[in-house]
Structures are given as C-alpha cells and as structure tokens.
C-alpha cells in the first residue's frame, strides 16, 4: 500500500505540473474542511476534491457533448461568480424532517468554439459537493440533444470499492432488467472489471485508504434527462459517467437527453467524510432539488402488511387478503399491499368489497400494477393501465372513486429519458387522483422524496423477495443488511420489505428457505432500513407465536423519522443507527457476521433514560429487559451471530 501511495503521489505531482493553473479557482465548504478546485487543463475543464487537506477525488474531467457543440474541449474561461446558498426545508418521508442547508456556490463560466456558454455550478456544503452543468446558447438555438458527458470521478489508485454492477438490458425476469437488483463489491480494488462489463449504478461508495470515504450519486433527475451511471473503472481509479445502454426499455427511446435551451442538467453528488457518519447521514439528494408540484392532499406514510412476500401468488385471493387486513389492524398498521394478478384472482368488483372491509378497520389498500406497455414480457396483470395517459387517468379516477390509497407500479427496466418521463407522468397523474406511488423493478429515486410529494418509496435493491426465492440470499442477508445503510439507503428511500419472524419463508413453514437471522435482528431492520411506507414480512401466525412486547414494538415503530444519527459500524460487519421520531429515540444494531460479538457504543441521546432493550436470547428469540447507559452514555451491546438489538426510550 505504501509503495502504491508513493507512486500515486508522484503521479499526482506529475499531473498537476501539466495542468494550466491560469484560471484555477477554489470553493470551500462553510466549515472550510471540504475544498473543491476547478479550472482548465489545457482547454478541458476539471475539478478535484480535498477534505481536511487530503485528496479524495483527484483531477477529474468535466464537460458535455451536445448537438449544438462540444462543451468538453476548446473551452475559454470567461468569468466566475459566487454566492452563499441557504435553504431551510422540511421533509415528511425521510430519515430527517428538518434540514438547514448551507452551501457556498461557485459558478465557472466558459465559452466553447461556437461561442455558446457553459456554466459549471458547484455547491459545497460541509460534507457534500453537488455540481451541475448549464448551457446558454449565444444565438437563436432553442433545443439541444445531450449525447453524453465528459464527467469523471478519479479516485486515488489505492481506493477500494463498495459498488453495485449495472445489468445488461433485457435480462432477468421476463426481460425486466436493469432494475438495480445486483450485489455490491466488498472492498475490491478500483478497476476490477464488473461481472457484466457495463459499469455500475449509483450510489457508489469508495474507501480512500485511511483518509476517508467518498459516496458518488446523482439527484434531481426528472423527465428532462436520463438517469446515469458509472462506467467500468480504470486501474488508476477513473470512473466516467455514462448514459443508459441502447437496449434498455426494449430499445425504445434514445440513450441521450433532449432538452430545451437554456438547459441545466441534474446534479452529480459527492459526499465525503473521514468516517462513515456523513455518508449515512447525508441529505444532499434533497438539498439541491425543489418540489415539482404541490400535493393535492396530505399523503400518510406508515406500515403495511404484504401477503405476497411470504405466501406468494397463491395468496392473492379475497379470503387471504382479509387475513392480511386483519393482521394489519392487529398491528396498528396503516396499509395492506395487494400484489400482482388481483384483477384476475379477486376481480375488480370484489376489490371494492376488500377496500370497504379494510375501511371498517381503518386500513388503506395499496394495489399492484404492471408498468407495461410493451417494454418487457412480464405477464402479470393488471397491465396496459399505467403506460399511456388516457388509460392511466381513467384507471386512477376509478381507483380514487373506490377509495384505494396508493399503487405499487412494477417492471420498468431502464434509465432512458423515455422511462424517467413515465415515472414522472405516473407520479404527477396519481397526485391528481390522490394516490401515493411506490415503484418496484425500477431505477434509483434521485431526490424524489422532495421533488414529487406523492412519491413514497422504490425497490431498486436486491430486496427481501430474494430471501424467499433462494437460500444463498438468506445466507448472505446479514452481510447485505450491513451494506445498504452505507450505500443504497443512504441516498434514498429503499423498499427492501424487511422483518421476517418465521423460521422458514413459506406459508406452511414445512418447506422454503431457512432464515439465518435472529428475531432481534429482524426487528432492528424496521428502523435500520428507511422506507416511508415499510412493507413488512410478517404473517398472521406471528400474532400467536410472538410475545406481546414484540407485537407492541411492531405496533408503535415509525416508518419516517425526525432525526438520524450514525453511531458505529462497518460495511459487511455491523451497523448501529439511532433514529428519532417525536421525543422517542430508537437505536438499532445488526450483526452482519456469523460470530457473536460485543459492541461498546456511545448513546448520548439515551443517557439517563430508562431504556427498553430487545436482545438476542440463546434460542434466537427476542428477549426484553430494561437497561441504562453508564454515566458517560456508553452501553455494551451483546449481539449473537447474525443477531441484533433494539433500544428505545422517550
């Protein structure tokens, strides 16, 4: 490692000397720790990122390639401008409810060979950089195709990766990929080829030796742009931003973005820290976006039962759904999600009866839809109701008239502008009919909790259905659960659908995959994973099998949070997170390894309080006891192999 570092240092020094420093400018975060330098390397723009004097992103290229000209080379520096950006805003469906955003903004203005203007806007808050491009044409040009970007992220060559591969198009279940359902690398060298050879999806986490952490993602992507990703990395640590693959979405739509001029692109975000704390706690996906429309009503977040996740397709019938409405009512949940084929197996008339029955128990019904269309072969119905505006509005008017509260729309398969527009159109139309929207088989939501007031959550993760499908997923799950809080769930709502209390994940429990985690681990995931509507893996038999204190925890656990504090942990090993709702703090710990362990953690928020602890009993069940921290606010947690703990107190 030391030789690598020395080599890199020499390479960096050599690199810097060849850079023109004439128009090099710098912008620092309000606390001065994060420093972004930008300028022209010859006539190509670049930037670099240092944190507390340590280089986390080395000189990396910038620029756009468009139909009106190339904005990545032959640029001339015109001017720079600066301002301080402050925004205090609230969120009602995230890991925090109130954010005071403060950033220093630097705009570098360049002119290209055609005398059109490129602005590169950098926003630097204490642990986050967001940057965006704006194009202002000189003459009467009114539209622009953005063919690609020259945006790169040059990590130090000794950086290691926690990144998740992109899928080639039209693979997976009935050609529904890419859908962000792949595994993460675990501390691999940069430049290792990905198994598919088509790069990586956001977010991408890099460990920069002992210097710190870098989380790269993007936000503010709507119908006006494509969702992007990282290409394959070079051995030196350069990852270039790439646009969608041509075959995505059944080859329908372009890989490039089409925009009216003047244009501004979405924001690329880089979150940095010496520890993982700023990564887990970042709000940058929300800091630099704005709501795109007003909510037509108050959308209530909460918890849902979901028969399909354990009982699968055979449970999508009226009688079983009544059982899951009753289960939701017994647990004080807000919703029941009725999954695929309901139109065929329950029918559109009897679904009205189900909605009315649920109403008598104060439970709302959420219904599954296929996004199809003609962009994959997924046969599940209802389909052809979400893909075009006339069909969609007619269906949504009916759903509103019978009192359905929200939809889960599945199977998208692509990040093209065409698909981003479909997400936005579904959300925007649904708001007209008072429906909240969850996406599955889908892309990463990029700031959508703030941009779209009726957006709830998205899958975009190797989710709990895999625990039901295959044993190796159950075996790996403790590991996965200690990757997601630092990666996927750090930047957006994640509908993993957690909390299983059956030992085998099947209806009869005579067959099916075998759960490897303890009950306390499972209960902890209700807090560990943030999804504003949390779909639980519990089944009606759990009511008779679990002690009252476990059921009471489920009855009260929130799904959205006022505050989130990272306490301790490391990728693939463990994670301890504290979240506050109102005046109650919940602290959860999960052990991602198959060895018992003790963790001594500081919990100042629970100091002096009588804490309820759900802990691992020897048989894997959750025990209950009252505990206190010591005088310094410290407490030792004992976690079984693949175990966990839940602590809460007012």
For the CB of residue 650, give the shortest distance to Ca ion in the complex, in Å: 37
Question: Hey, which residues between 360 and 419 contact Ca ion (CB under 5 A)?
Answer: none
Q: What are the residue ranges of helices labelled H in 346-388?
A: 348-360
Residue with tokens 């990144």: 163
For the CB of residue 406, give the shortest distance to Ca ion in the complex, in Å: 18
Asked if 40 and 77 touch (Cβ cutoff 8 Å), the reply is: yes
Angle, nearest 10°, between helix axes 348-360 and 389-402? 40
Q: If you compute the radius of gyration of the chain from its CA atoms, what whole number of angstroms results?
A: 25
Q: For Ca ion, give the closer residue by CB, 178 or 227.
A: 178
In the 8-state DSSP scheme, what is residue 416? S
- Record the tokens describing residue 579, joined without a space: 């979240």
Q: What share of the chain is helix, strand, coil (3-state, %, to 5)?
A: 25, 35, 40
Q: For Ca ion, give the closer residue by CB, 466 or 546.
A: 466
For the CB of residue 255, give the shortest distance to Ca ion in the complex, in Å: 24
Asked if 536 and 559 touch (Cβ cutoff 8 Å), the reply is: no
Q: For Ca ion, give the closer residue by CB, 110 or 439.
A: 439
For the CB of residue 234, give the shortest distance to Ca ion in the complex, in Å: 32
Q: For Ca ion, give the closer residue by CB, 177 or 515.
A: 177
Residue with tokens 């509103």: 400
For the CB of residue 178, give the shortest distance to Ca ion in the complex, in Å: 12
- Give 263-326 as a 3 state SS string: EECCEEEEEEECCCHHHHHCCHHHHCCCCCCCCCCCCCCEEEEEHHHHHCHHHCCHHHHHHHHH
Q: For Ca ion, give the closer residue by CB, 414 or 441.
A: 441
For the CB of residue 367, give the shortest distance to Ca ion in the complex, in Å: 17
d(C-alpha 204, C-alpha 11), whole Å: 24
Asked if 570 and 585 touch (Cβ cutoff 8 Å), the reply is: no
For the CB of residue 440, give the shortest distance to Ca ion in the complex, in Å: 5
For the CB of residue 339, give the shortest distance to Ca ion in the complex, in Å: 11
Asked if 285 and 491 touch (Cβ cutoff 8 Å), the reply is: yes
Question: Hey, which residues between 429 and 448 contact Ca ion (CB under 5 A)?
Answer: 441
For the CB of residue 479, give the shortest distance to Ca ion in the complex, in Å: 19
Q: For Ca ion, give the closer residue by CB, 75 or 462.
A: 462
Q: For Ca ion, give the closer residue by CB, 382 or 569.
A: 382
Q: For Ca ion, give the closer residue by CB, 441 or 445.
A: 441
For the CB of residue 465, give the shortest distance to Ca ion in the complex, in Å: 6
Q: For Ca ion, give the closer residue by CB, 104 or 339.
A: 339
For the CB of residue 481, give the shortest distance to Ca ion in the complex, in Å: 17
CA quadruple 73, 77, 78, 80: dihedral sign: positive
The count of residues interacting with Ca ion (CB under 5 A) is 1
Q: For Ca ion, give the closer residue by CB, 177 or 392.
A: 177
Q: Which of 15, 38, 35 is nearest to 110 (CA)?
A: 38
Q: For Ca ion, give the closer residue by CB, 152 or 441.
A: 441
In the 8-state DSSP scheme, what is residue 168? P
DSSP structure string for 540-601: TTHHHHS-HHHHHHHHH--SS-SEEEEEEEETTTEEEEEEEETTEEEEEEEE-SSS-EEEEE
Alpha carbon 267 to its chain's center? 15
Q: Which of 201, 81, 151 is nearest to 446 (CA)?
A: 201
Give the footprint of Ca ion on this chain (CB under 5 A). 441
């Amino acid at each position: 490692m030391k030789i690598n570092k020395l080599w890199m240092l020499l390479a960096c020094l050599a690199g810097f000397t060849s850079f023109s420093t004439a128009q090099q400018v710098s912008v620092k975060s309000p606390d001065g720790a994060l420093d972004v330098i930008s300028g022209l390397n010859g006539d190509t723009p670049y930037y670099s990122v240092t944190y507390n004097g340590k280089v986390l992103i080395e000189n990396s290229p910038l620029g756009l390639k468009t139909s009106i000209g190339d904005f990545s080379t032959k640029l001339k520096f015109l001017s720079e401008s600066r301002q301080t950006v402050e925004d205090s805003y609230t969120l009602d469906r995230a890991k925090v409810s109130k954010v005071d955003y403060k950033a220093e903004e630097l705009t570098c203005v360049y002119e290209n060979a055609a005398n059109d203007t490129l602005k590169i806007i950098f926003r630097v808050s204490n642990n986050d950089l967001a940057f965006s491009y704006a194009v202002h044409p000189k003459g009467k040009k009114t539209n622009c195709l953005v063919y690609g970007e020259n945006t790169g992220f040059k990590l130090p060559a000794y950086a290691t990766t926690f990144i998740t591969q992109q899928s080639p198009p039209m693979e997976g279940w009935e050609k529904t990929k890419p859908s962000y359902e792949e595994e993460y690398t675990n501390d691999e060298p940069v430049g290792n080829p990905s198994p598919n050879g088509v790069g990586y999806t956001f977010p991408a986490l890099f460990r920069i030796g002992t210097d710190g952490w870098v989380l790269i993602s993007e936000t503010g992507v709507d119908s006006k742009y494509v969702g992007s990703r990282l290409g394959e990395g070079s051995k030196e640590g350069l990852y270039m931003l790439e646009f969608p693959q041509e075959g995505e979405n059944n080859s329908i739509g372009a890989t490039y973005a089409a925009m009216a001029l003047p244009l501004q692109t979405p924001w690329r975000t880089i979150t940095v820290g010496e520890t993982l704390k700023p990564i887990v706690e970042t709000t940058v996906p929300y800091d630099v976006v704005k709501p795109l429309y007003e909510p037509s009503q108050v959308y209530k977040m909460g918890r849902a039962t979901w028969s399909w996740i354990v009982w699968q397709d055979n449970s999508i019938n009226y009688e079983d759904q009544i059982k899951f409405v009753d289960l939701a009512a017994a647990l004080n949940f807000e919703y029941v999600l009725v999954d695929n084929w309901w139109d065929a197996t329950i029918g559109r008339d009897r679904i009205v009866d189900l909605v009315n029955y649920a109403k008598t128990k104060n439970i709302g019904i959420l219904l599954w839809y296929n996004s199809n269309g003609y962009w994959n072969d997924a046969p599940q119905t209802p389909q052809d109701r979400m893909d075009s505006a006339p069909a969609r509005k007619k269906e949504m008017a009916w759903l509103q008239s019978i009192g359905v509260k929200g939809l889960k729309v599945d199977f998208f398969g692509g990040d093209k502008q065409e698909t981003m527009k479909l997400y936005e159109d579904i959300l925007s139309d649904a708001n007209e009919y008072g429906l909240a929207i969850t996406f599955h088989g889908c892309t990463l939501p990029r700031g959508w909790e703030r941009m779209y007031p009726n957006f709830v959550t998205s899958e975009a993760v190797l989710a709990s259905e895999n625990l039901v499908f295959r044993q190796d997923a159950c075996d790996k799950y403790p590991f996965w659960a200690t990757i997601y809080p630092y990666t996927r769930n750090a930047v957006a709502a994640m509908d993993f659908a957690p909390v299983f209390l059956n030992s085998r994940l099947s209806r009869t429990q005579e067959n099916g995959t075998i759960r490897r985690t303890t009950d306390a681990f499972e209960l902890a995931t209700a807090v560990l994973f943030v999804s504003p509507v949390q779909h639980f893996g519990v089944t009606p038999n759990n009511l008779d099998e679990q002690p009252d204190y476990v059921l009471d925890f489920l009855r009260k656990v929130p799904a959205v949070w006022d505050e989130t504090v990272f306490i301790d942990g490391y990728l693939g090993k463990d994670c301890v997170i504290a979240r506050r709702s109102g005046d109650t703090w919940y602290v959860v710990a999960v052990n991602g390894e198959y060895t018992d362990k003790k963790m001594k953690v500081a919990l100042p928020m629970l100091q002096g309080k009588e804490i309820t602890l759900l802990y691992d009993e020897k048989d894997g069940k959750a025990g209950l006891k009252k505990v206190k921290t010591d005088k310094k606010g410290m407490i030792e947690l004992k976690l079984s192999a693949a175990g966990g703990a839940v602590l809460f107190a007012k």
